[in-house]
A and B are shown apart, each in its own frame.
Chain A
Amino acid sequence: MASTRFRTAVAPPSRGTVALVGAAPARTLWRTAARRLRRNPPAMISIVFLAAIHLVAAVGVGVLPHDPFATNPLESLRAGSLQHPLGTDEVGRDVLARLVLGSRVSLAVGFVAMAISVLVGVAVGAAAGYLGRWIDVVLMRFTDAMMALPTLFVVLAALAVFGGGPITATVVIGLTAWMPVARVVRGEYLRWRVSEFVDAARAVGGSDLRIMLRHILPQVVPSIIVAATLNIAFAILTESAISYLGLGIRPPLPSWGNMLQNAQIYIWSAPTLALYPGLLILMTVLAYNFLGDGLRDALDPRLKL
């Protein structure tokens, strides 16, 4: 799935020799990367797992026999059975159905928060790296300062101001995760700014914005993809933490984090309620981390941490 996304993102600029200079090496890069990735078992297993979980999240809700919201107090806290394979929760809702819907919610929050962090990170990093001088200094000091702040403290302070809820939570998570993206992107822009094809683009009269977006950005995409993959992992984990604290996604809409919070009080009478969502978070985040790591090795062996 990841590789198809690359291709559309780096479709070679349509005309002019300048564009071709940048585009030609990109194709071989993807091929090499795909080859490297195939030799990385953890990354391949992760891709399969992630494909499966995203598929389930996308179509599972409609396929399953149970409504994730249908209650029945007389069927509460049942163990797994033929009818309810993973049992029922405290008001008799089907745990499997809720996990499936919860996957959709948690993954969606992860994706949107990641997108926000990438947008902000790329904008800040590109501006700092390409424009340089005082803009670079100001933006990077700001980035460092944000990075020094402990994420959860910032998230809590923001939620104290704006209140909880899915949208606030998603935005706040995205806004606490852009700094690593900005750093990586800045480094790349610093590197490419002085490259031959950028000089060539300038020579034919390309504006700064055009050069930043059309010429350099495609070169930076591999690094962005790596950072984005790791940021999804971060966002899913953070969402689960703040939903766990009761400040994120609100029930009855399930998310992995709030299902865990909900399950905590039943840990004595129905410990499996806490087991499943926790395992799902662990496996998904783990898979994204393995994938991000594998992509990094495959796309850009120079990058570390």
Chain B
Amino acid sequence: MAVLLGLALVAGTLLPAAGGPAAAGGVVFPIVGDPIFNPWHPRAFIESIPPNRVLFNGLTKIGKDRQPAPDLAERWEISPDGLVWTFHLRRGVKWHDGRDFTADDVKFTYDLVINPRLGAQNAGAFRALKEVRVVDASTVQLVLETPVASLGALVATNAGIIPRHGFAGVSDPWTHDAFNKRAPVGTGAFKIRQYVAGSFVVLERNPAYFAGAPTIETVTFKVLPDVNAQVAQLLAGDLTLIFIDNPALVRAVQRNPNVEISTVPEATFYWVAPHFGNRLFQDRRVRQAIMHSWDRPAMIRGFLEGFATPASGPISPALGTYYNPNVKTYEFDRAKARALLAEAGWQMGPDGVLVKDGQRFRVTLTYPTVQYFEPLAALIQQYLRAVGIEVALDGLEFNQFIAQRFLPKRYELIAGWWRYPPDPDMFPYLHSSNAERGFNVPAYRNAEVDRWLEEGRKATTARDRQRAYARLQELVAEDLPYLYLWWPNEIRAISKRLKGVPSIGLRDGFQYMHEWRLE
């Protein structure tokens, strides 16, 4: 063994060092698995989003002001009843194979999305979409069953248009590997050059890109699931930029002079949700007591390295004018928590656990073992224990978490997060119509909350929407359908050679890659 170590040392000094030159010509970004080059593929998850954001365009994209901005559609208008959205498409857009992009491609794409037999990724966002009408080659209408004021943001987010001719004669679009796994055809700033499964995808610049030819030669997505490997390669210069999901890694990168850490507020909130079917949580004072029982500033400071803000509700300050700062907030105050619990009839038992009518206050906290949820659960367990609530932990690998707990709504307390398009529409997460099935995790039913959610969707002016969501935020801060943890910051570490990355969510920022520059 010692001999081999010696050999390795010799080889290491004799042979040229790896890395370096590869990154010189382009941008290299890590992805966590083999991508599928089709944003609607049921198996296209987080690993596929980055390449698909560069290969394909949506009708709109998220603007640098976080409002929907033109992309394949130059402009759009909404009928007075809010049910028909007419998109006027940009003319002269070409697919990577040189064919013309037309309204038929939009219809093909959204017909696929609303086909219930196909179960397209993200189809849930378009449940109100009834029909797609081609008016002429450059005009298309999306017809809704109920008004959805957020549609402009929905068609911007992971909603790339795919070419009809790329799927001609294909019966099942999801097994069409020639497109999905090998040679995708998009309209985006970069087109596919080479894909090696398990290793990397190289995209090259599309000189004919309608919004302007990119200056970067290539963008490479490297399959690199291990976050430590990502950090090591960023530090070695083999990667140009990475996301930092766990703030613990920030320290590793901070000291490097060639890398810059930047953060942007995210349209995301982390939560612990009670199941309202469980009598333990039906008393609002109990929910409020829990909000008082944990020290979120301390957790953010000591555990998240400061990269988050305690949340007062679902709508994050990243949404600008839709965010309402004047709502009830909950500071860390164990005395207050205990008082609220006592008011709700809970008495401290001999073993330090609360008791009411002979029942001990014991709950199970379910969480996925991704990101930092494992240590977070341990923290919550200790905080709740300190006010007399005994917590058992139930951490599951993500797929099992979804399959066995999340979807069947089988939990007492559950931890998770919602990342939504930069739009205040919280209908999926709070409306009673989603309580049985769907994303209303707490199975929360409140007629007044429902009312303002519907008002927000119907509103046609920004002022009306603002008013509806301001009221909504007051209500849910008081009543606590979710127990809010924090609004995280998106942390990205970017090589100082790379310029022009906009200060919006990085995934949305990928759609500006034609403006990125390498120095």
Contacts and interface: CB of A to CB of B under 8 A. Distances in A.
A75 interface: yes
Contacts of A246: 369, 397
| B369, B379, B381, B397: most-surrounded residue (chain A CB, <10 A) | B379
B384 to A, nearest CB: 12
20 contacts: A73-B299, A73-B303, A74-B302, A76-B302, A91-B378, A92-B302, A163-B400, A164-B397, A246-B397, A252-B374, A252-B377, A264-B228, A265-B227, A265-B228, A265-B246, A265-B248, A267-B228, A268-B249, A269-B248, A269-B252
A252 B378 contact: yes
Contact of B393 (A75, A91, A247, A252): A252
Contacts of A264: 228
Interface string A231-256: 00000000000000011001110000
Nearest to A251: B374
A70 interface: yes
A71 interface: yes
A73 B248 contact: no
A262 B227 contact: no
B336 to A, nearest CB: 20
A73 B301 contact: yes
A269 B303 CA distance: 13
Nearest to A258: B374
B302 A251 contact: no
A278 to B, nearest CB: 15
A30 interface: no
B378 A251 contact: yes
Contacts of A49: none
B251 interface: yes
A185 to B, nearest CB: 33
Contacts, number: 67
Nearest to B378: A252
Contacts of B379: 71, 73, 91
Contacts of A90: 248, 303, 372, 375
Across the A-B interface, the 6 shortest Cβ-Cβ residue pairs: A268-B252, A73-B302, A269-B251, A71-B382, A74-B302, A252-B378
Contacts of A72: 302
B199 to A, nearest CB: 21
A276 interface: no
Contacts of A75: 302
Contacts of A76: 302-303
Interface string A262-276: 101111110000000
A164 B397 CA distance: 9
A250 B366 CA distance: 13
B352 to A, nearest CB: 13
Interface of A: 69-77, 89-93, 163-164, 246-247, 250-252, 262, 264-269
A286 to B, nearest CB: 15
B488 to A, nearest CB: 16
B242 interface: no
A268 B231 contact: yes
B395 interface: yes
A70 B248 contact: no
A267 B231 CA distance: 11
Contacts of B301: 73-74
A36 B295 CA distance: 61
B298 interface: yes
Given A69-B378, A71-B378, 5 more contacts: A69-B382, A71-B382, A264-B228, A265-B249, A269-B251
Contacts of A251: 374-375, 378, 395
B173 to A, nearest CB: 28
Interface in B431-453: none
A249 to B, nearest CB: 11
Interface in B359-399: 369, 372, 374-375, 377-379, 381-382, 393, 395, 397
Contacts of A93: 378
Nearest to A92: B302
Nearest to B232: A268
A90 B249 CA distance: 12
A32 B228 CA distance: 52
Contacts of B395: 250-251
A90 B251 CA distance: 13
A30 B252 CA distance: 56
Contacts of A69: 378, 381-382
A227 B372 CA distance: 40
Nearest to A262: B374
Contacts of B303: 73, 76, 90-91
A7 to B, nearest CB: 39
Most B CB contacts (10 A, CB to CB) among A69, A70, A250, A262 go to A250
A93 B375 CA distance: 10
Nearest to A90: B375
Contacts of B228: 264-265, 267-268
Interface string B174-189: 0000000000000000
A139 B396 CA distance: 38
Interface in B271-316: 295, 298-299, 301-303
Interface in B220-244: 227-228, 231
A75 B301 CA distance: 10
Contacts of B231: 268
A246 B382 CA distance: 23
A77 B305 CA distance: 11
Contacts of A89: 375
A264 B226 CA distance: 10
A265 B250 CA distance: 11
B293 to A, nearest CB: 13
Given A73-B295, A164-B397, A252 B381 contact: yes
A269 B382 CA distance: 24
B397 to A, nearest CB: 7
A72 B382 CA distance: 9
A253 B404 CA distance: 22
Contacts of A250: 369, 395
Contacts of A247: 397
Interface in B338-376: 369, 372, 374-375
B254 to A, nearest CB: 10
Contacts of B227: 265
Nearest to B255: A268
B251 A74 contact: no
B251 A268 contact: yes
Contacts of A92: 302
A76 to B, nearest CB: 5
Contacts of B248: 77, 90, 265-266, 269
A268 B254 CA distance: 11
A265 B232 CA distance: 12
Nearest to A253: B393
A73 B400 contact: no
Contacts of A74: 298, 301-302
A163 B397 CA distance: 9
A73 B295 CA distance: 9
A42 B123 CA distance: 64
Interface in B315-342: none
